[in-house]
Amino acid sequence: EAQVTQNPRYLITVTGKKLTVTCSQNMNHEYMSWYRQDPGLGLRQIYYSMNVEVTDKGDVPEGYKVSRKEKRNFPLILESPSPNQTSLYFCASSRTYPVSGELFFGEGSRLTVL
Amino acid sequence: GQQVMQIPQYQHVQEGEDFTTYCNSSTTLSNIQWYKQRPGGHPVFLIQLVKSGEVKKQKRLTFQFGEAKKNSSLHITATQTTDVGTYFCAVETGANNLFFGTGTRLTVIP
């Protein structure tokens, strides 16, 4: 089954404790992206990657890091989480750049930073 | 960067009534996509519109792309409780990524 898998789905952590949210897709997609969703603000892009070893900042990259060492994986790293990073996070992938292809979303990771 | 306004932010309708959400841009768009997110779920792609004046239908859903390619609408005829969710438009930015509107949350009252 074609899917985007995120882990963990839920996480409560404390300020400053490094964490990684993993994302994996099994569709051989080139494009992958991370979004955060907050009430009233919709989906805002954090980082995206057009292929292996190619990543770029989205609209709200501060406080986040990503890497794309393999085509299927695109982890989101919070080196020193802060309460303002409490949010619902979605990973998404697309066969090509989103211009010509739909985005497939993971089920989301709800993060709470105390 | 690319900005798109989506209205209304919320809409409550009686089951059986129609519903419309709009996306408006100040610049000409190359294309526009629509997504639906059920409560507690993740966004799911509905459709992509590319051509000026394009109209596409999916059962009770009608999608339109304006003649000037600056606005788009999603219309649902005779809403059902299964239509509940948030509807997002998404447009390409100049940087090979998608910018999402803030969404319209639809509530259907049985």
Which chain A residues touch B44 with a CB distance below 8 Å? 105
CB contact under 8 A, A98 and B92: yes
Coil, strand or helix at B92:
strand
The closest CB to that of B30, out of A99, A104, A106, belongs to A99
How confident is the model at residue A41, as a pLDDT? 87
How confident is the model at residue A100, as a pLDDT? 63
- Tell me which DSSP letter residue B9 carries: S
Any bridge partners for residue B83, and if so which? none
Rounded Cα distance between B76 and B45, Å, is 16
The closest CB to that of B43, out of A41, A43, A48, belongs to A43
CA angle B9, A35, A10 (to 5 degrees): 100
Distance from CA of A93 to the nearest CA of B (A): 11
pLDDT tens digits in sequence order for chain B, 110 residues long: 557 899 999 999 999 999 999 999 989 998 899 999 999 999 999 999 999 999 999 999 999 999 999 999 999 999 999 999 999 999 987 666 788 999 999 999 99
**B94 vs A: CB within 8 A:** no
Bridge pairing between strands B104-109 and B10-14: parallel
Better pLDDT: A50 or A100 = A50
Contact (CB, 8 A) for B79 and B17:
yes
**B88 vs A: CB within 8 A:** yes
How confident is the model at residue A4, as a pLDDT? 97
CB contact under 8 A, A99 and B96: yes
How confident is the model at residue A89, as a pLDDT? 98
